[in-house]
Amino acid sequence: MMGEDSLVSKISDINSIHVIGAGLNKERTAHTAVGEISQRGWRVVPVHPRDAGATVSGTPIRSGLEEGVKLELVVLFLAPERAQKVVKELLLRNLKSPPLIWYQPGAEDETSINWLEEAGWRVVYGDCIVRFLKRNNMVISKIPLPWFRQVIDSDESGCSIWTAHEYGESSELPVTQVEWVGDLFDLEESNHNIPKYIRGLVNINEDLEDCARRLAN
Residues 108-139: tens digit of each pLDDT: 999 999 999 999 999 999 999 999 999 999 99
Residues 76 and 151 in one domain: no
DSSP assigned state of 99: P
Q: Which pLDDT does position 2 carry in this prediction? A: 75
Residue 15, domain extent: 4-135
Question: Of 90, 109, 135, which residue constitutes the final position of a domain?
Answer: 135
Q: Identify whether the C-beta of residue 19 lies closer than 8 Å to the C-beta of residue 46.
A: yes
C-alpha–C-alpha distance, residues 30 and 50, integer Å:
14
Which of 54-68, 154-168, 199-213 has the least mean pLDDT? 154-168
Residue 103 lies in a domain: yes
pLDDT at 58 over 80: yes
Strands 100-103 and 123-124, by their bridges, are: parallel
Q: Average the pLDDT over 10-30 and give the result.
A: 96
Q: Which pLDDT does position 209 carry in this prediction? A: 98
Question: Of 110, 135, 160, which residue constitutes the final position of a domain?
Answer: 135
C-alpha–C-alpha distance, residues 145 and 44, integer Å:
11
Q: Average the pLDDT over 189-209 and give the result.
A: 97
Centroid of chain to Cα 181: 11
pTM over 0.75: yes
Rg of the chain over CA atoms, in angstroms? 18
C-alpha–C-alpha distance, residues 179 and 209, integer Å:
19
Residues 185 and 81 in one domain: no
Q: Which pLDDT does position 114 carry in this prediction? A: 97
Residues 80 and 186 in one domain: no
Q: What is the CATH number of the domain that holds 53?
A: 3.40.50.720
Residues 37 and 105 in one domain: yes
Residues 50 and 86 in one domain: yes
Residue 54 lies in a domain: yes
Strands 100-103 and 43-47, by their bridges, are: unpaired
C-alpha–C-alpha distance, residues 171 and 130, integer Å:
24
Side-chain-side CA neighbours of 144 within 13 Å: the count stands at 6
Q: State how many domains the chain has.
A: 2
- pLDDT band, very low/low/confident/very high, at 158 (cuts 50, 70, 90): confident
Q: Which residues contact 164 (CB under 8 A, 6 or more apart)?
A: 146, 147, 148, 212, 213, 216
Question: Of 91, 113, 135, which residue constitutes the final position of a domain?
Answer: 135
Residues 197 and 103 in one domain: no
Residue 120 lies in a domain: yes
